[in-house]
Structure 1
Amino acid sequence: MPPQRSAGTEPEAEHPMYAGQYLLESQLGSGGMGVVHLARSASGLRLAVKVVHAEYSQDPEFRGRFRQEVAAARRVSGAFTAPVVDADPEAEHPWMATLFIPGPTLAEHVKRNGALGPAPLRHLMAGLAEGLRDIHRVGVVHRDLKPSNVLLADDGPKVIDFGISRPADSELRTETGKLIGTPPFMAPEQFRSPRQVGPAADVFALGSVIVHAATGSGPFTSDSPYLVAYQVVHDDPDLTGVPEELSDLVARCLAKEPEDRPTADELMTALKSVSASYDTQAFIPGQRVAGERAARSGRDDRPGPVGAGSLAPVRARPLVPAPRHGPDPEPTHPRDRALPGDGGPERAGSGPAPAGVPQWRWRLPVAAAASVLAAVVIGVLALHGGPDAPGSGKGPGGRPSGTAFRPWALRLEARGADAAGLPQCTYTPHELYCVRPGVLAASVDPADGKVRWSRGDAHRGSPHSTVPPVLSGGLLQVLSGDGLRLEALDPATGATRWSHDIARYGGRVTQAGGVVLLTGPDGDVTALNASTGAKKWRHAVPGQPKPHFVAYGDGLAYSVTEAGTGTRVAAVDPATGSTRWQRRLDGSLSVAGAHDGVVWFTSTDGDQYTDAVVRYDSSARSVRRVALPVPLPSSQAVVRGDTVYLLGGSGALVAVDTRTATQLWRSETSVSMASAPVVAGRRLYLTASDGRLLSVDTTRGTLLGQTRPRLGDTRGSLIGAIPAPLAADGKIYSSAPDGSLFAVDGNRPAAW
């Protein structure tokens, strides 16, 4: 039975009155993905019911992730998790009901009352260890354990929100290039290999949660979420303030390598001296009575923020509102300056941040004290999404949750700069960073196209060639227009943190794993720390006389060089310069993509036609070559899973399954010059030389839609390489010869 809607013309009329047989009494929180309601069963049992927004109900991928969330929550049943009472992921508007448990979250408690003492800290750690043991025993990895996902109930801590958890046997996998979780509480492997995250990542998060509970701050802190991500991977944790009797155990939890961390069972053994009662009353003074009173009244009148994940800071309210006698106060106010993906305004009355804690951690809504399902973010969270990091309470682009996206277009400029040519951009959650000849760098709000900051470039160079910016080491790495300097900019302000003269390297600059790789004319490679600009190492790469590296986010840098009638391929660890593996393969090969230990190549014949796709598994040392029935001239390739999509210079688009060694389909696009293709979900996107953005169905190769042409003003002008479009959060960002940068809804290509 789908949720039933109320009648009327007020906004509340759009809220469902029932989910299945459960009456929805009041709203606990609302966000971009759905709404969490306080509900009652026919017997009077109080429940927390999550109902998905209509706009996501029709998305097959979203439904699949919601089914996964329901399945994960049902599999987990223990004293330290909340049971699922009922769910219908197949309803018109999918919903899930869990037992309602009053109590504040750990994030809320620490914010209001300060850090925990040694005794309650030991109780908390033992309770979380037992909760993780129950979760891991049924084959589930939570992947987003953090203070706002720990509910402090009467009978002990509860681990809540399985929106991005993954059963070990799930067929849904993290998409390449997407990171899941909240940086201060993510494990290093969640950044390095997000598709290979296991139970040890939850143990790392537990260590970070305990540090937060003990000190009011995490083991890795910075004003920039990007620097936090870098610190998690490379720096030692700061355990100052953690009780001595727990510091060694917490340090083991925060080991960089998963195999060096204890299991949840081992943690429980180490904490066996802790009382089995796990009484949280000692460290939530004054909270329980207020929570119960709020639950009985269907309201939450306690001071402080309400909501979690992408929940907006709203007050629980009845579905049928009382008559209004005046305008509601504005719940938020604009910020003077926002960090990339900043959570935005602080809720009135929430109080200041604790001293010494970066503001971006505390201007954020935290979990509703009355709801074990407060976080409504489902599926893939953005890099720094969630209530413990920037972006809380907002949808993509840092906009208020629920705000409808509208296509936009802009001309990227900078004060005093003579800008020309096509913009090139990189996407991070809640931020676009772009360059253009004449514009050294700019920060653009992906939700509405507003430029947050921009810097002109006195060394514009050629209007036909720019290099896309890269976010590495927590900084925005850009090249000057003349290609002679590398600038590392603060992503929040655009200010230069460090710069390096790269004139001698002839443009052979690659970013990989937080390291800048510079190949000199003598073939020696110099590696710089992307965060500081300091030199890490310098030496030649064996078997690679003059390496030109490419990287695909798997922690390695790849280089190829001719070797007679074959190609010698090297995989290099950018942190140390050591060669992980090297192999000679037949044919003239170029790297097309890499993930999970597998590298894909395109093979070129003597006439420079792509005649095959090659799949090399570095673990099994196996090679599979898939010949193309009809070779493609001047092809560009993109890899998604085991499928390689190739776009030829003649406009032919081909899909090749390298696991089954078959060509899936071939389509003629009539686009004779285009960008490299990109793939998101079941759609492929490319930009034509006339500025059209095209969308193609990846299962059949059929055209789904295209935008209008955006030709340049100068007739007969030459166009260099066309930047590939960016696909992120259901939106597509592209540039055109008229110099514009524009965004469209990727879910509706037929309406372009």
Structure 2
Amino acid sequence: MAPQHNTGAGAEAELPEYAGHYRLESRLGSGGMGVVHRAQSASGMTLAVKVVHTEFAKDPEFRGRFRQEVAAARRVSGAFTAPVVDADPDAERPWMATLFIPGPTLAQEVKRNGPMAPAQLRRLMAGLAEALRDIHRVGVVHRDLKPSNVLLAEDGPKVIDFGISRPKDSELRTETGKLIGTPPFMAPEQFRRPREVGPAADIFALGSVLVHAATGRGPFDSDSPYVVAYQVVHDEPDLTGVPENLAPLIVRCLAKEPEDRPTPDELMRELRSVAASYDTQAFIPAQRTGDEPRAEPRADGPGRRPAARFRRRSAVLAGAVGLIAGGVFASMQLLPDDTRPASSAGPATSSPGSGTWEASPVSEDAGTPQCSYGDDKLLCAQPGEVYALSPSDGTLLWRRSVAKARRVDPPVLSGGLVQVTTDEEHRVEALDPESGMTRWQRDLPTHTSMGYADDMLLLGHADGRLTGVDSASGDTRWSRRMSGQKSPSLASFAGDPSMYATTMSDDGSSTRVSAVDPGTGEVRWAARLEGGLQPVGSGDGSVYFLSLDTVYYDTGAVVRYTPESEKSRRVALPVTREGVHAGVYGDRVYLVAAGGSLEAFDLGTGKRLWQLETAVPRGSTPVADGDHVYVTAPDGRLLAVSAADGDLLGQTPPRLGANADRVPPALPEPLTANAHIYASAPDGTVFSVNARNPSAW
């Protein structure tokens, strides 16, 4: 892998000098979660050091995932992986050092030089089968085998990146709010039954990787991950161009049911029987679609995909019952090509007098708007843009350009001003709610948590200090150290005058919770509660928490704590849920889990009221108004569910837009006001629907 020297602007453009004792020399590559550097040890050993992005380093959930990656990589370290030399998941910026392996990734090799020759292909398949055998022998399932995670070293392929690996006997399969796996290389059970994913899923991925190596594309091919998900679950693979004597093995690898796929040992035995046949190889002829001409083969033999690629005439539209229940993407149906076009930036369109409208103030390329409600306006942000809309008809009231950030949070109305976090959460800019003009701005120290309550901005520092900043002026009003609370996390809730600072114990056995007066920094009450807890809401004198597994941050219970009586009520979930978002209304807590489960718990009676499998892979935080519970889906749908019994009452159409392959890092919560629900979608639209009649959506 050729080194890439650091270029460009941004908070991490300058190369850090060291990770632990290892000097970082040049940048090898970058991904969504971290940067990989070429490094040297004191003795001169060349290493590859993965350093986590600053924005994730302060996220306890991500640190848990990184610890799991280090553990999995160490567990399988051997001949077919990059051996782990050292790691520090607890560093200010967590890092892991592995032995540097010269050579391109399979993805780079195919992109530069085209499909592999037959003999290379067989050796690749044998090497990856051996690698999976060793990985599975130590009880690990990789779950993200793909061309970019295969290094082509001189002594054979090496499997890297165990960031979403899990022990195969673990009940902990995904992480909050993240796309788990890469759709063209995921097995059907990763969409249908994500909690049942085992070693056979890696065999399915192996088959897809081999098709890519043989042809330059995958066996399931579309620009939209939602369409790919449908194809993986329901369609037969396209093996155009795959060598004929390897095709039967690859077909078995791509079997829809895990039990029908071969084991790595079976693959290696069968590969030995075909090894001698490569000099007289035939190839599967190109597929034909109607009058489409057959592609000419390359000089070295493999048939190529037709120049006009075979594409399914399809779009995705979710129905009330998903075709892929509990998977990673929303449910889908195939429709003709007359579905609604992707909207573009322009004026709002509305139904006269109904308050139902949709608007696209910014180009759809900017992704999903993140919005809040305040000062009788919808306040929205997209990368580089902040704007205000009229809630009655979607009219654009003002728009302001701001510095781009990798992650965009909804603006917050505090101190009478619109508070916007920019520059990778290192700066707060306060805007006039009537004009969008800047009233003040303030740079923030790195590695701080932040939250707004009672017209104050509170900052939590790594040394345990809290700082109170006046939201109206940007001036610091107070600073104090929290006893026993290093690096406190901060949370506040509508209608509650307190800010809650929480710190888990190192072993996850307890959580220190302090209710802080935002105006003075005085502690109103403090308690040490059992377990690893995350506050999710408050009301009627109580605070509500999720009880988390502190390794994988899965949810095992919901907890209510009442400080006046100093009593807690804990209600266990029937099964541990992963990737949970929670909303509170009265004494009820609503949970949306990564697999699509929506559940309601009554903390007054200590009972679970109902459960609905929505087929929404990872919904937003649920929002309730007493009669309904609302959830936003990754494809832009808004769902309404009966708060009484969990019945699905209605949903809006999907709004994917032109960038259907993008998965937003965070889904916006629905907003309730004026008897309407406001939501936003990946095609860049913000829209309003009538809350009283979800069946008409």
What is the TM-score normalised by the length of structure 2? 0.48
What is the TM-score normalised by the length of structure 1? 0.44
